Chain A
């Protein structure tokens, strides 16, 4: 593991009116790592994702993406689509597919920012556009095969079962060729078998060289999968470390289970 973090977040603060949802959050993710962000409900995990991906404008803080062997990039103030272009792809907690489009089209949309056919190219369908279109289809089909959805490529996305929709979201995010994949509760609502499949899928993605940051409530999944864990509560980072370190950390136990009360 290299010493240069791929994503570094410094002093990230997000305020909604008087409420401070994120409070001076610091966080580093290294290349090839599966990192997890955990915390009780309302701790600010999804807010963190939204700040990172440009949906919210953070009140303060620095977001830096430094891909290996490429110049780093500051993510503050970028629009969501620019963040995706820079190499951050995400999935959503409540699935946000394009339900009226086919499974294949959903993944092809992910290729949008890596392709460049314009209106006149589309109308004239010149060789360049046709080649690009064919590549888009090929890459998308390969990604569908990877997540095990190739045989339902022509089905409408809304007709897929829940677990398959989750996997489609991952395939769609991968189509944007990210450096870092952000997964917002990917195992939510999945049965044990589906969670099992998901675990191996995430591992495979990591083994191909991507870094992953996931938010998850399923502790078993987090503990077995993550190389490094950040724990947040009330918008503040209360602990970080490997799964063993976090598991026995008294602050974390307190945040999750509450404090023992001494009765007089």
Chain B
């Protein structure tokens, strides 16, 4: 069996030609309007052709090797396939130092980097919370929610309005924001109880738009598109803090929030409720036949997911000291959904990695400013084609081994 076959070469050639054709207008033709000149940059075409051809060839080789390995495995008797993540977590000698190093990195992050970096990281960590929250709804319970950002908005505006009208502080508003969002989650949950898949997605999308439009247009309530400013930042027993200290404080606050989220969601997933949510995703009818009340469990999923969005919303309002409806557009929902899908549906570690990649990458790609979003889009496409299960696939959980081991 050859590594490269004639078929692979032909495929590479076609790919090269196709990409040359596609990028022709963009990369080859350059019109200089001031001098009425058309500049033909043919060398770009060559680069594109070579790049696309070799990329295709490399993929074929990689695929071939992969297939061969799998073929060999099939001949061996009873190969138990265990994913990389599972091996990582089942081996404490490897996983513990890595996790410890990760924890240390995040702990001393503000000491190592500038306030700008800290600010970006705080934002990314907030998306971790949002991603983990949406993961309950989409990843675990399998209910596609395209209006998740609405709950984020509810949380943020709960704090903003309470602070503006009654001077309520951050720590009081935090649980209130969560509860408020949970109530809105249940409110959305009722009309969509019978819906699944595409239909559910459309209704949730509409719900998100409704919240956004209300915030934009009901000026007496929300101050309209101008937003609410001068929201108090989170306090720490009334201490006076400098700008840099405040940023660091917010960073650690967000870290604490992420840890709390991971802790709670991890426990929930390995519980009676968590299993019921998983079962709901797998098969709704069988789920009911096992004595699970579909209504309760769906509303639980919506409320649980929304709670985290509400908490993150309060954090967001406090961090920026300003909210306006433009922060809660559909694009945000799509972004959070991308985090969950890219990271791996139903997987906590996956969602964390997904959030960090998706939020940090565009920031650090600013150097290639023109191609930033192009590279970002390409990454998403490649990821979904080659690894649709996400970066970290769902890990199978084992209950009885833990108990039997001393």
Q: Chain A: residues with CB nearer than 8 A to chain B?
A: 53, 55, 79-81, 84-85, 89-90, 92, 96-102, 104-105, 108-119, 121-123, 125, 129, 132-134, 136-137, 141, 153-154, 156, 172, 176
A20 to chain B, nearest CB (A): 24
A84 and B399 contact, Cβ closer than 8 Å, known pairs A100-B282, A119-B273: no
Residues in B whose Cβ lies below 8 Å from that of A134: 403
Residues in B whose Cβ lies below 8 Å from that of A121: 271
Chain B residue nearest to A144 in the complex (CB): B400
Chain B interface size, as a band, is 20 to 34
- Show 20 residue pairs from A and B whose CB-CB distance is below 8 angstroms, ordered by the A residue: A80-B285, A84-B289, A97-B283, A97-B286, A98-B283, A102-B396, A102-B397, A105-B278, A108-B399, A109-B275, A109-B292, A113-B292, A119-B273, A122-B267, A122-B272, A123-B267, A123-B268, A134-B403, A136-B272, A154-B398
B395 to chain A, nearest CB (A): 10
A106 to chain B, nearest CB (A): 8
Residues in B whose Cβ lies below 8 Å from that of A105: 275, 278, 397, 399
In contact, A117 and B267 (Cβ under 8 angstroms): no
The answer for the CA separation of A116 and B396 in the assembled complex, in Å, is: 24
B363 to chain A, nearest CB (A): 34
In contact, A118 and B275 (Cβ under 8 angstroms): no
Residues in B whose Cβ lies below 8 Å from that of A153: 400
B122 to chain A, nearest CB (A): 25
In contact, B275 and A81 (Cβ under 8 angstroms): no
In contact, B290 and A84 (Cβ under 8 angstroms): yes
The answer to whether the Cβ of B208 comes within 8 Å of any Cβ in the partner chain is no
- What 0/1 pattern do residues 373 to 406 of B give for CB contact below 8 A with A? 0000000000000000000001011111101000
The answer for the CA separation of A133 and B273 in the assembled complex, in Å, is: 11
Contact among A55, A96, A109 for B276, CB-based, below 8 A = A109
Residues in B whose Cβ lies below 8 Å from that of A55: 285, 288
In contact, A172 and B271 (Cβ under 8 angstroms): no
In contact, B271 and A79 (Cβ under 8 angstroms): no
The answer for the CA separation of A256 and B294 in the assembled complex, in Å, is: 40
A-B contact count (CB 8 A): 120
Chain A residue nearest to B267 in the complex (CB): A123
A160 to chain B, nearest CB (A): 13
A84 and B398 contact, Cβ closer than 8 Å, known pairs A122-B267, A122-B274, A133-B272: no
Residues in B whose Cβ lies below 8 Å from that of A81: 288-294
Residues in B whose Cβ lies below 8 Å from that of A115: 272
In contact, B304 and A119 (Cβ under 8 angstroms): yes
Contact among B285, B292, B304, B399 for A104, CB-based, below 8 A = B399
Contacts beyond the supplied A96-B283, A102-B397, A113-B292: 16 A-B pairs with Cβ under 8 Å = A79-B288, A80-B288, A81-B289, A97-B282, A98-B278, A98-B282, A100-B394, A101-B278, A109-B275, A110-B290, A110-B291, A112-B279, A133-B272, A136-B272, A137-B403, A153-B400
The answer for the CA separation of A202 and B268 in the assembled complex, in Å, is: 36
Residues in A whose Cβ lies below 8 Å from that of B289: 53, 80-81, 84, 89-90, 92, 96
A138 to chain B, nearest CB (A): 8
Residues in A whose Cβ lies below 8 Å from that of B293: 79, 81
In contact, B275 and A112 (Cβ under 8 angstroms): yes
A23 to chain B, nearest CB (A): 25
A125 and B290 contact, Cβ closer than 8 Å, known pairs A119-B273, A137-B403, A154-B396: no
B226 to chain A, nearest CB (A): 39
- Report, nearest first, the 6 A-B pairs whose CB atoms are least far apart: A113-B291, A122-B271, A98-B282, A84-B291, A96-B286, A80-B288
In contact, B292 and A112 (Cβ under 8 angstroms): yes
Contact among B300, B399, B403 for A119, CB-based, below 8 A = B300
B197 to chain A, nearest CB (A): 17
A171 to chain B, nearest CB (A): 12
Residues in A whose Cβ lies below 8 Å from that of B294: 79, 81
The answer to whether the Cβ of B104 comes within 8 Å of any Cβ in the partner chain is no
The answer for the CA separation of A101 and B399 in the assembled complex, in Å, is: 12
Residues in A whose Cβ lies below 8 Å from that of B398: 102, 104, 154
Contact among B271, B282, B300, B304 for A99, CB-based, below 8 A = B282
